[in-house]
A and B are shown apart, each in its own frame.
Chain A
Amino acid sequence: MTLAVFFGCAFIAFGPSFALFVFTIAKDPLRVIILIAGAFFWLLSLLLSSLVWFIAIKASNSQDLSLQRGLLIFGVFFSVLLQEVFRFAYYRLLRKANEGLAAISDDDGSAISVRQMAYVAGLGFGIMSGAFSMINILSDSLGPGTVGIFGDSQYYFITAALMTLALTLLHTFWGVVFFEGCEKSRWWVIAAVVGLHLLVAGLSLLNPLYEGSLPPVYVITLLMGVWAFFSSGGSLQSLNALCTCKI
């Protein structure tokens, strides 16, 4: 609970996404707008799912702890589904905007491709999701306190940061894969993304048994990264070219 924890966790959770933002998004205004709009869509989905959860909570007996926990778990899964619905809605919106741009552009192409938009939208979702999970925890870590004084795990901050990082990257990869699946009308891809998201949320339910949640989530992140790479047009040759500096 010191500056060291604050900076460490902040950089773990937000370092990669910040770097991605600075190097790939900050220079292009259109991408910044798409990023912020993506964040807005994620926020909308969160709002709606919190509304549903809130109604459920108010309608139920607040003394029954297991019921409350059950409702929270229901809230988690409902929120995941709603996020994916909003991702699809954002995809439709971006497609319309892209068509509009392409139609009025005289050089037969729009300023931004669907794949780039997919990446930026995914990153927008990821950044917002990460920020909402992590910011309050970070600000608490600056103040005084003892972690786990009531018997909870002492590794709260670091595991929160690691989980946030994984989720941010996952959202980015899911964005890429999801949009690609929608473009090519491969519905199994969409189902896979939704399923994986549900799986990751479900794994987080195992917390504080961190061995059960963090390693599998990172394995999934890695696999999703590979899938997103190949889905967005990467190949072993391009990797090779990158490594031997032939690009």
Chain B
Amino acid sequence: MDWDQLELHPRIISAVRRCALSVRAVLCLSAPDLQRLSGLSRSDTQQLLTAAATACRRHAPLPALLSRGLQSSLRLSVGCPILDELLRGGLPAEGVTELSGESGAGKTQLALQVCLSVQYPTQYGGLNAGAVFISTEDSFPVRRLQQLIRGQSCLRSDVPPSLISSLNFSDRVYIEHAADLASLQECVSRRVPLLLARGLVRLVVVDSVAALFRSDFLASDWLERNRQLLTFSAALHHLSREYSTPVLCINQVTDVFSSSDSLVPSSSTGTPTVAPALGLAWANQVMVRLMMWRLQGTVSRGDQSSAPRRLQVVFAPHLARGGRGAGVWREGVRGLTETV
């Protein structure tokens, strides 16, 4: 943003240019400081600040009724009506959703399913675009993705089969590998915005967030780790808001030894003795937090059987705390109708 674009008296602009201040830097100074630096009078300084503020703000306060257009009230369906009901429509289009759980709980399965459901048109709960899957741990499970694609007509009975066969699912899932933090940051700040800007994708999945942050740092380096984590999370938020894209982050869990802190409720029934990894710093950045567990026993459907899972809402601004049972089948993750 240049000073010439603002409507200011030339005298004020030249004074500001003399102190080499950018428009954003001017707002970070207090009025007396600015007066001293620029040598302008008090009223001139006020004018300067007002012009800079008007240039930096996105829009004036709008009635919430009208901001329905601004804020995307779209939801991305996860592919199963029972789980969508738990999420009141699906993943919110602007904001970071976190899905954590132990290994084998089914997080990657659900993420793959969401990568496919985003490709449907909006009337079927999708966003009519592809997905980018950033994998940090293992190699991407390509065969499982193909199996899910083959099972889409079985999973999505609400969509006409002609539409399903006309969509080329695997073409629109972009896979990125990030082996260390530097390449992860580069991926999120350079390559993914390119895909988003072209409208090719409207879902970003990071599997998993914890892996690189936990492995690259020693326990004593937590300050540096937090700094990197916050930079990464700021990049994700920027992408989510700029392109109105849901971001799904998969997280690992860590053991909880004493639930004496007041962070989470400790219920006597089904007490989780695990908590999402990366601590409070990451928890403050997340808008919707979901957890997935693997339970004992089996459930069966037709000729398939699966260990029952549970998908739980830990916190979200618009969701009640609650959970649904789910099973992982050949065609994907489906919610179970009976309460588990």
Specify whether A and B are partners.
no
